[in-house]
Structure 1
Amino acid sequence: MSSTIESATGDLATALADADAACREVQDRIDDYGEETVRAVADAYDRAADLLDRYDGQATGTGKENFKHFIQFQEKFDSLVEDLPEDLPERDAFEAANDRFDKRRLSESDFAAARDRLAAAGDIAGLLDERREAVAEYRETRREVGHALADVREEIAERERLVELGDADLDAPVEEIREPIEDYNEAVAEAFSSFKSSASARELLSFVAATEDYSLVSFRDPPETLEEYVETREVGTEPVSELLKYARYSNSKLDHYVEDPTALKRAVATNETYLERLDADPLQLEWPPRSAADLRWRVEELVSVVARFADDEVVADLRDVQSVVRDRERFEELRTVAEAEAELSDAEREKVASGAVEDELAELRAKRKRLEDAREEYPER
């Protein structure tokens, strides 16, 4: 494991502990006053600050309008202070600010001085914002820990996979499962090519549409305009190759073959790529193969689908694949060998053999535990 990842993991666990400590510290300060008291101070401070902001500049000067605003401001600020509870923390700060306005004329310096005198109350009012910020920081750090934990788990899974593949016996007779799969794939490709060449477009697209009932056979659904055209027009009884040939004719030449050249162009020419790419790929089996359980279900579906167009020999090839899947333990052993041959480089094999991967796994598991412990110790807020 790189020192960068190791350092990041440790830093995140420490950062989460620090974020938790910051949340607790600000909450302790709020608890010293009491939640409701802090909210009361914050409400009073906000109202006072709002008055100062609104009347600063309007209640100063010597004009008639200024004097009007001056009277309004004095009355409102004085009323605010008078209504405050006697035991409100820093009530004297509000009174000190109000005293600054007990004069016949105000200047901007009076407003500045009042703000200074309200600073102590502002510190208490600010505790709520401090808590919101601390909790937001805590949550963000905890999310980062979660992302790091997911990354470490993925790294562990990758290393464990390397060990599994590195332990595979490359001399095992993997052809026991490869040959039946290759034989079937070749046979079904040939059978589907023959079916596509000889069947009518209507029959071919009807077959493709019918496979929608089989979740493990993933043909792309026929385009609606094309499907409707071959179902309702006489030319739909001809093979796909003929339809594609017609689609490349000019309208004047095509007029000799179909009743509505424009309709054929619209339905076939626009879907030429779909028809050309329609092949046996959704019917073939992957290599390396799926797990025994997955392959067994896929083969069962394929037997039903392939039997719709292919002869018994192709279905028999599928049955041969079923036979090798029945011995699940043996199949999985050979499947792992196949995956090792396909996925593992020489350098990766050497790394597994040297024990370096196991060393990395030990480090990664230690990091995973540290992150998991941090997530458990510091729950969501």
Structure 2
Amino acid sequence: MTSTRTDAAGAEGDEVDDLVTELREARERVDELESRVEEVGQSDLERVADAYNGATRLLDRYEDRATDYDDFEGYVEFQEAFVDFVEGLPEDLPAREGFEDADETFQKSRLNEEDFERAREHLSQPREYASLLSSYREARQRRSDAEHAVRSRLRDLESRVDHLERTLALGAADLDAPIEELHEPIEAYDEAVREAFEAFKREASAREVFALIDVIGSFPLVDFREPPTRLREYVESSEAGEEPIPKLLEYADYSASKLDHYVGEPHELKRHVATNRTYLDRLSAEPLTVGWPPPPASKLRYRTREYEAVVRRFAPEGTVAALRDVRRLAADPAWYGDLREAAHAVTELDDEQRSMLERDAVEPALREAGAKRDRLREALDAG
């Protein structure tokens, strides 16, 4: 196993070396070509490359016809096309004389393959410019790809470092601490508030439920999603709003003719309720639960204070009492904090993390990942 881990670490190290080397070489290649490009000017290189590509297209297109003695029309068509092409080139085009010399090659009564070869030789300077531009573009793309690969690997390593640092922090917790002293009262309250809200949603009118959500809006730590505007308006103005939400959802499944026996304007109910089924189905007490592992003591105190102002409006006293029991857990921040850290450790640590902690392998892995991360950062910054 040790050999396997060593081999894996070595392979990963080689990968980082390869990425850094590729980035350095790609940047050096761009710098090398950039100085040559600047001597001519990139815009001029682009003009010459466009002209060269246009000329070679004409040569490739007409060579067979222009050198065929039986295709006089092709010969004339090519000569006219090439003359027009060269005459249309800007006077200040770099290496323009190469195009002119190529044109001179074709000013004869008959053409053969050697004429086209000579013409291509005359275009050697424009071809070099076009090749330089192409190489420069390829080098820039290579540099971009190399930088992208380094950034991608860097993100992986940064995530790895964060994960290992979190593992170390969790490993400092007492995994044998009596976390049930937190878990049991929190679980009892969360279950109670869920049941109380489901009963309220099942028995109260939709209008009453929406009125409660309106009140909840004044408590910033209770994150209930407000009902869609048109659904709210329908519930507030229609007689159907006096029905509980489950009944409205049941009605929405009825046919229009059957629904006509239960509510006025059945199409309006379907239009507003059926289209908002997801919102109504998902409406629950989750924003009022504490969750596990629990938040820090200060947040727990603030949240439970706001929770109580809401919960007492729809839940029985037993649920409110359970919430107060939860708030009292935060009365001793040190005790609560230790148990909370233990709860996070027990919940978050997976088998691999536990194994690394048992083998004291986290810190070496963290140092290695951090060194690779720093090397990639330096490679990027060096550009």
TM-score bucket of the superposed structures, by smaller chain: 0.7 to 0.9
Q: 2:168 aligns with which of 139, 163, 185?
A: 163
Match for residue 145 of structure 2?
Answer: 140
Q: 1:371 aligns with which of 344, 367, 376?
A: 376
Q: Report SS of the residue matched to 1:103.
A: coil
1:208 Cα deviation from its structure 2 partner: 3.2
Q: 2:120 aligns with which of 108, 111, 115?
A: 115
Name the aligned partner's letter for residue 334 of structure 1.
L
Q: 2:242 aligns with which of 227, 237, 241?
A: 237
Match for residue 30 of structure 2?
Answer: 23
Using a 3 Å threshold, how does the CA distance of structure 1 residues 327 and 153 change in structure 2: closer, same or farther? farther
Matches within 5 A, 1:304-319: 304-310=309-315, 314-315=319-320, 317-319=322-324
Contact (CA 8 Å) 1:209, 1:222: kept in 2 or not? Answer: no
In 2, the alpha carbon distance for the partners of 1:43 and 1:262 equals: 65
Contact (CA 8 Å) 1:288, 1:335: kept in 2 or not? Answer: yes
Identify which range, 359-368 or 70-79, moves more after superposition.
70-79
Q: TM-score w.r.t. structure 1 length?
A: 0.78
Pairing 1:13–2:20 present: yes
In 2, the alpha carbon distance for the partners of 1:337 and 1:281 equals: 24
Deviations 1:157-210 (A, max 9, x none): 112222222221123343443344234324423432443344223212332355
Q: Report SS of the residue matched to 1:131.
A: helix
Cα root mean square deviation, aligned: 4.0
Matches within 5 A, 1:40-189: 42=49, 45-46=52-53, 48-49=55-56, 52=59, 56=63, 61=69, 65-66=73-74, 68-69=76-77, 72=80, 75-76=83-84, 94=99, 97-189=102-194
Contact (CA 8 Å) 1:23, 1:138: kept in 2 or not? Answer: yes
In 2, the alpha carbon distance for the partners of 1:64 and 1:314 equals: 101
Name the aligned partner's letter for residue 336 of structure 1.
E
Name the aligned partner's letter for residue 69 of structure 1.
E
Matches within 5 A, 1:336-355: 336-345=341-350, 348-355=353-360
Identify which range, 295-304 or 252-261, moves more after superposition.
252-261
1:12 Cα deviation from its structure 2 partner: 1.0
Name the aligned partner's letter for residue 134 of structure 1.
A
Match for residue 339 of structure 2?
Answer: 334
In 2, the alpha carbon distance for the partners of 1:162 and 1:124 equals: 57
- Equivalences, count: 375
Identify which range, 298-307 or 260-269, moves more after superposition.
260-269
Using a 3 Å threshold, how does the CA distance of structure 1 residues 255 and 316 change in structure 2: closer, same or farther? same
1:260 Cα deviation from its structure 2 partner: 5.3
1:336 Cα deviation from its structure 2 partner: 1.6
1:295 Cα deviation from its structure 2 partner: 4.0
Using a 3 Å threshold, how does the CA distance of structure 1 residues 213 and 8 change in structure 2: closer, same or farther? farther
Using a 3 Å threshold, how does the CA distance of structure 1 residues 129 and 280 change in structure 2: closer, same or farther? same
Name the aligned partner's letter for residue 107 of structure 1.
N
Pairing 1:289–2:287 present: no
Deviations 1:41-100 (A, max 9, x none): 546645644654575466555666456436535755775899578xx6695x55653453
Using a 3 Å threshold, how does the CA distance of structure 1 residues 309 and 116 change in structure 2: closer, same or farther? same
Identical-pair percentage: 42
1:286 Cα deviation from its structure 2 partner: 0.9
Deviations 1:219-249 (A, max 9, x none): 4544666544442333533444655676788
Name the aligned partner's letter for residue 356 of structure 2.
K
What are the ranges of 5 or more consecutive residues in structure 2 without an aligned counterpart? none
In 2, the alpha carbon distance for the partners of 1:121 and 1:248 equals: 75
Contact (CA 8 Å) 2:20, 2:150: kept in 1 or not? Answer: yes
Using a 3 Å threshold, how does the CA distance of structure 1 residues 121 and 159 change in structure 2: closer, same or farther? same
1:146 Cα deviation from its structure 2 partner: 0.6
Q: TM-score w.r.t. structure 2 length?
A: 0.78
In 2, the alpha carbon distance for the partners of 1:358 and 1:37 equals: 56
